[in-house]
């Protein structure tokens, strides 16, 4: 048998097939590379594209107060040159303060119950062993560098204080509650930008876990994902008045049902929580409603929620919000799907 194959006439056929296959492969590879390069160039342009007609987030007309020296000493590298602060408000787990001097502006976040730290300079006592855990988590978050992840600039090593870049457009929730009405193109742009932020953090083994309008911030017209639930939960545990809970309406099914969460972990799909929540966020912006994980008992519930949306958009949201985590698309696939929708509905092209 081997002898027959090695005869010249068979060798010519075999070699011809190999050469032909190699030429076809190289041709396809070259074509694919060109297409991918063009797509990546266009994606870079999409990532830097800004939202339109945003409401002005003006906090500069409020009464500023002097920042206590004890607060400056907590994170001296950043706060030493900053003199004034104004309270932006308090949310579910903490309070935020804008701190500025000249052209430099940052946001300080502390857990509820620790307002006296910023307002009076009274430093709370937190067990250093617990602070070490917070510092470890904060170090990971602060190392992230992506155009759609809110930058954690620094953090206290002995006090639960976080220093973020200032979101001059406020949060997505602030914009929506103050009358901003995003176009379909805006919604899909937000989808692409946040999906790529998720692709980035998932590639580093991280999960956000609490994607909702109040955790999406707007800086220079682009969206950025902030307040990672893992860090927020640790920070909130330092104060009896602070409590971090997943937001009803935006929870993924596995955040409600422990058996589903265990199975998702076992299969290695824990980060699909973020994919569901991204789909829920887009659904909220398009329809004004969400599907909480407690209600997502089967796919028909999701299909009912997207009824009325254009089929291509509805189909992608269903892929993002499959009740079973292992049936959802990945964040990388979400970038591709939402990118195609953005191209289709924005009228833009890669050429």
- What does the pLDDT read at residue 8? 53
CA–CA separation, 58 and 73 (whole Å): 28
Comparing CA positions, the residue from 71, 69, 101, 67 lying closest to residue 87 is 67
Contacting residues for 26 by C-beta, under 8 A, at least 6 apart: none
Report helix, strand and coil shares of the chain as percent, to nearest 5: 50, 10, 40
| 53: region left, alpha or beta (phi > 0 left; psi from -120 to 50 alpha) | left
**How remote is the C-alpha of 61 from its chain's centroid?**
30
User: Chunked in runs of 10, what are the mean pLDDT values of the chain (351 residues)?
Assistant: 48 46 37 44 73 84 87 91 91 90 90 94 94 96 97 96 95 96 96 97 96 96 95 88 77 96 96 98 97 94 96 98 97 96 83 50
- What does the pLDDT read at residue 7? 55
Comparing CA positions, the residue from 261, 244, 256 lying closest to residue 280 is 256
The b-or-e profile of 236-251 (16+ CB within 10 A means b, else e) is bbbbeebebebbeebb
Given CA atoms 49, 51, 53, 55 in this order, what sign does their dihedral have? negative
- What does the pLDDT read at residue 20? 44
pTM to 2 decimals? 0.85
- What does the pLDDT read at residue 23? 37
Q: Which domains does the chain have, with CATH numbers?
A: 65-165 (3.30.200.20), 169-346 (1.10.510.10)
**Encoded tokens for 103:** 């052209």
């Amino acid at each position: 048998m081997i002898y027959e194959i090695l005869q010249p006439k068979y060798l010519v056929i075999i070699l011809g097939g190999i050469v032909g296959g190699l030429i076809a492969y190289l041709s396809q590879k070259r074509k694919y590379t060109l297409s991918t390069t063009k797509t990546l160039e266009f994606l870079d342009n999409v990532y830097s594209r800004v939202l339109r007609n945003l409401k002005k987030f003006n906090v500069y007309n409020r009464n500023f107060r002097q920042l206590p020296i004890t607060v400056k000493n907590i994170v001296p590298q950043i706060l030493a040159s900053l003199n004034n602060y104004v309270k932006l408000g308090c949310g579910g787990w903490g309070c935020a303060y804008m701190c500025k001097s000249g052209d430099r502006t940052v946001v300080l976040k502390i857990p509820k119950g620790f307002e006296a730290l910023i307002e009076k300079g009274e430093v709370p006592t937190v067990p250093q062993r617990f602070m070490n855990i917070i510092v470890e988590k904060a170090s990971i978050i602060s190392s992230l560098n992506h155009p759609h992840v809110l930058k954690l600039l620094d953090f206290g090593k002995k006090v639960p204080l976080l220093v973020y870049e200032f979101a001059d457009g406020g949060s997505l929730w602030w914009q929506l509650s103050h009358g901003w009405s995003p176009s379909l193109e805006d919604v899909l742009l937000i989808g692409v930008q946040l999906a790529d932020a998720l692709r980035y953090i998932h590639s580093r083994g991280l999960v956000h876990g609490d994607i909702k309008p109040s955790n999406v911030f707007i800086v220079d017209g682009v969206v950025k994902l902030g307040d990672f639930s893992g860090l927020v939960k640790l920070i909130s545990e330092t104060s009896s008045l602070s409590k971090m809970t997943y937001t009803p309406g935006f929870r993924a099914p596995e955040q409600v049902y422990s058996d589903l969460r265990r199975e998702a972990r076992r299969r290695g799909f824990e980060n699909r929580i973020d994919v569901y929540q991204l789909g829920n966020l887009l659904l909220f912006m398009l329809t004004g409603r969400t599907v909480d994980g407690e209600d997502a008992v089967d796919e028909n519930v999701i299909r009912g929620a997207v009824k009325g949306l254009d089929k291509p958009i509805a189909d992608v949201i269903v892929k993002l919000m499959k009740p079973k985590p292992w049936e959802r698309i990945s964040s990388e696939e979400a970038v591709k799907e939402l990118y195609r929708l953005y191209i289709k509905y924005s009228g833009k092209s890669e050429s």
